[in-house]
Every structure is written in C-alpha cells, then in structure tokens.
Structure 1
C-alpha cells in the first residue's frame, strides 16, 4: 500500500472512530452538566455531576432498578445459554430431515416481530398469574432462534470422531456435552453471553407491559420515567443513561476477544 493510500485509509478510520465514540463522550459530558448546558450543546465536562446524582437518587429508586436489572439479566442469560446450547447441539449431533424442518420453522419465527405476539403473551401470562414476576420476565425470551442457530453452527465444527470415541468409552450424551462440547465452545458461549445479557439488560417493551409494580422496575424503565413530564432534566437523564450503559460496556470489553471468536465460529 502506497503512502497516499495509507494516509486516506487512516484518515477514514480516524473519522469513523470519532463518529462512533462521540455519542459516548457526549453522554459522559452531559452527565456532568446542568440541563440548560446540555441543551446549549456544550462539549466540555461540567461541575454538576454530584448535583445530578443527588437529584437522580432523590427522585428515582436507582438501587432497586439496578438490582432488578442484574437479577433478571443474569438469570435469563444463564438459562438461555443452557437451553439454546443443548438445543443447538441436539439439532446438529442428532441430525435428520425432521429436525431440519423443525429448525426451519424456528428460523421463520425470527421474522415475526415481538409486537405481534405481545398481546397474546400478556393474556397468557395474566391468566397464569405471572405478572410482576421473574419468570414472567424471562420466559418469552429464554430460547431464541438466533442463539440456537449459532450453537448449531458451532456444533458442526465439533469433531465427530471424538464423540464416537467417547461413546465407545462409555460416556453418555450428557457427559459428552458437559465434559467435551461445553469446554471447547467457550468462545461461542462468551459471544452468546454478551448478546443475551445486553438484550436482557436493555429490554424495555416487555418489562414495561408485564411489570406494573414499582418494585419490579428496571433501568431502561427508570430512564423512560425521566422523560415523562412537562420538563426533562437532561443532566439527570444522561447520568441515568450512563449508569445504565456501564454494565453492558464492561461485559463487552471483558469478553470482546472471545466475542469476536465466537461470532466467526472459531473453536479452540
């Protein structure tokens, strides 16, 4: 690559990186400024961080929202990884035409928007008395077609010779799954964990519908509450958004290498 091409390539990457990072920078800046300064478009850090924090903690139950979000997201992530990995493993290892048809139906379900099934789901959960419950939050999304497809694709790279040797040694299918398949698919599990946790943490529509009790509030619901009213304090709003963003950013940066490997289907 010539110097001219390198210059334009690096210039393009710098511009794109700046555009990508700028919203995060502006969010942090806005969290430290007053609402009037945010509306003016200031790009410098201010001195109103502690005032915004005191107002936020005084007007909203942030601790309850954080605890609920962590609880719901963690439980949903663990159960989703278990169910979807077993399903993806089963679809590939015990492969036949009937399972291919079932998998096709599951993939078609990805085309149905959640809003189309939300009302029937609410009626079902209301009759089952699962409103304002952890089970009601996680049950509709503990198994997703995307995760099942991802684990099925990863299972295709799992050597069949190893499974045959394990069966000859007397291992059951569950022992093969937990002792052999699960350890070798750590990057896939890391990618699935990141995706599932972020989706659960940022979930708003379904919790808003099914969680009517103030004690069941989550962080996205708390952020939405700050926009309701005649006047919105953008400093407090941006601080709440910043608090809501930190856990997902931490999870992504801790698992970014494994996330990239899992998405590309790498197996170690």
Structure 2
C-alpha cells in the first residue's frame, strides 16, 4: 500500500475521531432536550417527542426572561467594559515607552499565577464593605481588568502599523482620537476575537456570581441550571432544554464574528 495514502487515511481517521468526540456532547444535549428524563437515563440517542413538555416544564419552573436578562446584562456590560479597559491598557503598554513598562507588564503576567479562588474572600469583603453584594456591579467589576486580554491586545498591537499613528499625528489628531478613529477600526479583527472570548467567559461565569449574587431575582442562567441539578430527582430533559437555550447566545455571537475571530487569532491587521 502507498505509504502516503496510508498516512493520509490515518490522519483523516484521527481527525474524524476528534470531530466525533467534540460534536457528540452537543448532539447528546440537543437530543436529550427532546426526550423524557427516563429515556435519557436509559441512554436513548435518538430524537424523542418530549420537547414541548420539557419546554413547558422549564418555563413553568424558572423565570426565564429574568434570568436570561440578568445573564445578558452581566455578559454584555462586562464584555464592553473589558474590551475598553484592556484595549486601552494593551495600546498603552505597546505605544508608550518608559523605564518601568516591562517590569510592570511582567508583574501583571505574574499575577496570572494567582488562582481566583485565593482572591474571592478579599474581594467579597471589599464589596461587602462597599455594600455592593448582590448587585450586578459586584459581579462585573472583578472581570473588567483581564490580564490575559491586556496581554492579547498588546501582542496584537505589535502588528499595528506605526506609520498610521505618525500620519494621524501629522494630521493633528491627539492620542485619544488616534485610538478611537485609527486604532480601533484597524484592529477590528482583534476586537472580534476578544469579544467572543470575553463574552463566553462572562456568560458562563459560575463561581463568583454564585458567591456574590445571593437572591433569586439576580441569579444567572448558569446558577439556575446548577440549582436545578441539585434536586433529589432531576428532570434531565428539562435541564438539557435549558442548557440548549443557555448555549444559543454564545453560538450566535461566535457565528456572527467567526471570520473576524480567525483573523484576530492569526494576528491579521487590515
């Protein structure tokens, strides 16, 4: 047998296996949303007829509009603030020279080694003293200054053409105008990739909202789904239906920005 053909067949087989492993949980989630809990427990992998029953049970059990609105507020506002703060920081670290710049940036990267669990108690005490516990402000603020996104924007800014900045200065633009009217349009692919990353992180955030959001009116969809699993006899069909609904916003954001996402991850600047 041709070694090249054998090697290609092996590669396709491994890729097919990886694709199956990646896609099957989504398939199981969607199929499970159409089946009754008893069928899911038995391992049924074909569509069922309980979709509308699961939907009715879910909407009767939880205040879906409120919890999705809570998640949307936290995700959208948190994403917008993170993009503004982190892109400004990344732009500043790359464009402005100083003797302590690299030391300060190295310190920020060192802070990445501190697990969030080690900061939860001090953060909770701080927000408690500020009387912000059980508010969206407390859920959003700790995520705004993302060191990883700052690092990402700084690395992307290295590809930003310095000639554009120099030309903008000659035209009389100040630094804020350069950032708003030159940098941001040129780096739109970077912003798109960062938007997907940050939105997914904020939408799926669980640990910190679990601690700081203490009433049912402020709960997010991830907290509600987790609470539903703690029942003595969970309704898996209803849970999977809710999981499908919770997954839709991130899928929509990804598919809307997927082309820009690939360009941004590859460092494309146009």
Aligned match of 2:87: 85
Instruction: Report SS of the residue matched to 2:247.
Output: helix
Q: Which residue of 2 aligns with 1:113?
A: 115
Contiguous gaps of at least 5 residues in structure 1: none
> For 1:110-149, what aligned pairs fall within 5 Å after superposition?
110-149=112-151
Q: State the alpha-carbon separation in 2 of the partners of residues 118 and 247 from structure 1.
A: 27
After TM superposition, the structure 1 = structure 2 runs for residues 1-268 of structure 1, keeping only pairs within 5 Å, are: 2-268=4-270
Paired residues in the alignment total 268
TM-score where L is the length of structure 2:
0.96
- Corresponding residue SS for 2:112: helix
What CA distance in whole angstroms lies between the structure 2 residues aligned with 1:97 and 1:155?
A: 19
Q: TM-score, normalised by structure 1?
A: 0.97
The CA deviation string for residues 108-167 of structure 1, in whole angstroms up to 9 with x for no partner, is: 111111110001100110110111212111100111111101111111111222212221
Q: RMSD of aligned C-alpha atoms?
A: 1.2
Further displaced range: 228-237 or 214-223 = 228-237
- Give, in whole Å, the separation in 2 of the partners of 1:247 and 1:90: 32
Secondary structure in 2 aligned to 1:97? coil
Report the alpha carbon displacement of residue 51 of structure 1 after superposing the two structures with TM. Answer: 0.7
The CA deviation string for residues 92-118 of structure 1, in whole angstroms up to 9 with x for no partner, is 000223111111111111111111000
Stretches of 4+ moved more than 4 A in 1? none
- Any stretches of 5+ residues in structure 2 without a counterpart? none
